[in-house]
Amino acid sequence: MSKYVKNLLTDQLKQKLDGVDDALVVDVVGMDALATTMMRRRFREKNISVMVIKNSMAQRATEGTPLAPAFEGLEGSAAVVWGAEDVVTLAKEVVSLIDNQDFEGFRSICGVMEGERLSEDEVTAVSKWPSRSEMFSILVGQILGPGATLAGQLIGPGGTLAGQIKKQSG
Protein backbone atom coordinates (compact mmCIF):
# COMPACT_ATOMS: atom_id res chain seq x y z
CA MET A 1 0.00 0.00 0.00
CA SER A 2 1.40 3.37 -0.93
CA LYS A 3 2.19 6.02 1.64
CA TYR A 4 -0.47 8.30 0.16
CA VAL A 5 -3.19 5.65 0.63
CA LYS A 6 -1.98 4.90 4.17
CA ASN A 7 -2.19 8.59 5.03
CA LEU A 8 -5.72 8.82 3.62
CA LEU A 9 -6.83 5.79 5.64
CA THR A 10 -5.14 7.14 8.77
CA ASP A 11 -6.89 10.49 8.36
CA GLN A 12 -10.23 8.77 7.90
CA LEU A 13 -9.63 6.70 11.04
CA LYS A 14 -8.70 9.84 13.00
CA GLN A 15 -12.02 11.40 11.97
CA LYS A 16 -14.00 8.32 13.02
CA LEU A 17 -12.32 8.15 16.43
CA ASP A 18 -12.39 11.90 17.03
CA GLY A 19 -13.95 12.54 20.44
CA VAL A 20 -13.77 8.89 21.54
CA ASP A 21 -12.11 8.61 24.95
CA ASP A 22 -13.04 5.05 25.95
CA ALA A 23 -12.77 1.97 23.75
CA LEU A 24 -12.06 -1.74 23.90
CA VAL A 25 -9.87 -3.81 21.61
CA VAL A 26 -11.21 -7.26 20.80
CA ASP A 27 -10.08 -10.24 18.76
CA VAL A 28 -12.54 -11.44 16.13
CA VAL A 29 -10.15 -13.77 14.29
CA GLY A 30 -11.63 -17.23 14.17
CA MET A 31 -15.26 -16.14 14.12
CA ASP A 32 -17.26 -17.35 11.15
CA ALA A 33 -19.24 -14.99 8.91
CA LEU A 34 -22.59 -15.72 10.58
CA ALA A 35 -21.23 -15.01 14.07
CA THR A 36 -19.57 -11.81 12.85
CA THR A 37 -22.82 -10.61 11.28
CA MET A 38 -24.77 -11.42 14.46
CA MET A 39 -22.13 -9.61 16.54
CA ARG A 40 -22.29 -6.49 14.37
CA ARG A 41 -26.10 -6.47 14.46
CA ARG A 42 -26.11 -6.85 18.24
CA PHE A 43 -23.60 -4.00 18.60
CA ARG A 44 -25.56 -1.77 16.21
CA GLU A 45 -28.75 -2.27 18.26
CA LYS A 46 -26.91 -0.97 21.34
CA ASN A 47 -25.31 1.99 19.52
CA ILE A 48 -21.85 0.39 19.61
CA SER A 49 -19.44 0.84 16.72
CA VAL A 50 -16.91 -1.81 15.71
CA MET A 51 -14.09 -1.56 13.21
CA VAL A 52 -11.42 -4.09 12.29
CA ILE A 53 -8.13 -2.30 11.83
CA LYS A 54 -4.46 -2.98 11.46
CA ASN A 55 -2.73 -2.09 14.73
CA SER A 56 0.10 -0.10 13.15
CA MET A 57 -2.44 2.13 11.40
CA ALA A 58 -4.43 2.51 14.63
CA GLN A 59 -1.24 3.49 16.47
CA ARG A 60 -0.58 6.26 13.94
CA ALA A 61 -4.20 7.46 14.00
CA THR A 62 -4.50 7.55 17.80
CA GLU A 63 -1.09 9.04 18.51
CA GLY A 64 -1.49 11.83 21.06
CA THR A 65 -5.11 10.91 21.91
CA PRO A 66 -6.55 9.18 24.99
CA LEU A 67 -6.92 5.98 22.89
CA ALA A 68 -3.17 5.64 22.21
CA PRO A 69 -2.43 3.31 25.19
CA ALA A 70 -4.83 0.69 23.83
CA PHE A 71 -2.69 0.03 20.76
CA GLU A 72 0.78 0.11 22.33
CA GLY A 73 2.53 -3.22 21.87
CA LEU A 74 -0.26 -4.92 19.92
CA GLU A 75 0.57 -6.92 16.82
CA GLY A 76 -1.51 -8.09 13.89
CA SER A 77 -5.07 -6.97 13.41
CA ALA A 78 -7.81 -6.44 15.94
CA ALA A 79 -11.18 -4.76 16.19
CA VAL A 80 -11.75 -1.58 18.12
CA VAL A 81 -15.15 -1.26 19.80
CA TRP A 82 -16.55 2.03 21.10
CA GLY A 83 -19.84 3.72 21.83
CA ALA A 84 -22.76 2.72 24.04
CA GLU A 85 -23.93 4.80 26.98
CA ASP A 86 -20.61 4.48 28.80
CA VAL A 87 -17.54 2.26 29.01
CA VAL A 88 -19.19 0.03 31.63
CA THR A 89 -22.11 -0.77 29.32
CA LEU A 90 -19.60 -1.40 26.53
CA ALA A 91 -17.59 -3.78 28.73
CA LYS A 92 -20.76 -5.61 29.81
CA GLU A 93 -21.73 -6.21 26.19
CA VAL A 94 -18.24 -7.41 25.22
CA VAL A 95 -18.03 -9.78 28.20
CA SER A 96 -21.51 -11.15 27.44
CA LEU A 97 -20.32 -12.04 23.92
CA ILE A 98 -17.21 -13.74 25.29
CA ASP A 99 -19.38 -16.00 27.47
CA ASN A 100 -21.82 -16.75 24.63
CA GLN A 101 -21.16 -19.99 22.72
CA ASP A 102 -22.56 -18.47 19.50
CA PHE A 103 -19.56 -16.14 19.30
CA GLU A 104 -16.74 -18.66 19.61
CA GLY A 105 -13.40 -17.03 18.84
CA PHE A 106 -14.44 -13.62 20.17
CA ARG A 107 -12.27 -12.39 23.02
CA SER A 108 -11.27 -9.18 24.70
CA ILE A 109 -7.65 -8.09 24.33
CA CYS A 110 -7.50 -4.80 26.20
CA GLY A 111 -9.10 -1.40 26.44
CA VAL A 112 -8.62 2.19 27.42
CA MET A 113 -10.65 4.18 29.92
CA GLU A 114 -9.92 7.85 30.61
CA GLY A 115 -6.49 7.50 28.98
CA GLU A 116 -5.45 4.47 31.09
CA ARG A 117 -4.88 1.08 29.51
CA LEU A 118 -7.06 -1.79 30.75
CA SER A 119 -5.95 -5.42 30.63
CA GLU A 120 -8.31 -8.21 29.68
CA ASP A 121 -8.99 -8.96 33.36
CA GLU A 122 -9.63 -5.28 34.10
CA VAL A 123 -12.18 -5.14 31.26
CA THR A 124 -14.00 -8.06 32.91
CA ALA A 125 -13.85 -6.25 36.27
CA VAL A 126 -15.25 -3.04 34.73
CA SER A 127 -18.15 -5.05 33.29
CA LYS A 128 -19.27 -5.86 36.85
CA TRP A 129 -19.57 -2.19 37.83
CA PRO A 130 -22.98 -0.50 37.71
CA SER A 131 -23.63 1.34 34.45
CA ARG A 132 -24.41 5.04 34.28
CA SER A 133 -28.18 4.51 34.34
CA GLU A 134 -27.86 2.02 37.22
CA MET A 135 -25.76 4.54 39.16
CA PHE A 136 -28.41 7.23 38.62
CA SER A 137 -31.14 4.91 39.91
CA ILE A 138 -29.04 4.07 42.99
CA LEU A 139 -28.40 7.76 43.61
CA VAL A 140 -32.06 8.71 43.21
CA GLY A 141 -33.02 5.88 45.58
CA GLN A 142 -30.55 7.14 48.16
CA ILE A 143 -31.86 10.69 47.84
CA LEU A 144 -35.55 9.75 48.00
CA GLY A 145 -35.24 6.96 50.57
CA PRO A 146 -34.90 9.12 53.71
CA GLY A 147 -37.73 11.41 52.56
CA ALA A 148 -40.06 8.46 52.01
CA THR A 149 -39.16 7.06 55.42
CA LEU A 150 -39.79 10.42 57.08
CA ALA A 151 -43.14 10.81 55.30
CA GLY A 152 -44.16 7.35 56.44
CA GLN A 153 -43.17 8.16 60.01
CA LEU A 154 -45.15 11.40 59.96
CA ILE A 155 -48.25 9.91 58.35
CA GLY A 156 -48.26 6.68 60.39
CA PRO A 157 -49.29 8.07 63.82
CA GLY A 158 -51.86 10.40 62.23
CA GLY A 159 -53.43 7.49 60.35
CA THR A 160 -53.56 5.41 63.52
CA LEU A 161 -55.19 8.27 65.43
CA ALA A 162 -57.74 8.84 62.66
CA GLY A 163 -58.58 5.14 62.65
CA GLN A 164 -59.13 5.14 66.41
CA ILE A 165 -61.35 8.24 66.25
CA LYS A 166 -63.40 6.71 63.43
CA LYS A 167 -63.79 3.50 65.42
CA GLN A 168 -64.93 5.40 68.54
CA SER A 169 -67.45 7.55 66.66
CA GLY A 170 -68.82 4.71 64.49
The model's pLDDT over 73-120, given as tens digits with 9 standing for 90+, comes to 887 778 999 988 889 999 999 999 988 888 888 888 899 998 899 998
One domain for residues 88 and 137: no
Domain with 146, as residue range(s), is 130-170
> How many domains is the chain partitioned into structurally?
2
Mean pLDDT score, 138-148: 79
pLDDT on residue 105: 85
Residue 9 sits in a domain whose CATH number is 3.30.70.1730
List beta partners, residue 140: none
One domain for residues 166 and 85: no
One domain for residues 59 and 106: yes
One domain for residues 66 and 135: no
One domain for residues 114 and 137: no
One domain for residues 167 and 106: no
Mean pLDDT score, 163-169: 74
One domain for residues 116 and 134: no
Return all residues near 50 (Cβ < 8 A) that are at least 6 apart.
26, 39, 40, 43, 79, 80, 81
| Residue 170: band (very low, low, confident or very high) from pLDDT cuts 50, 70, 90 | low
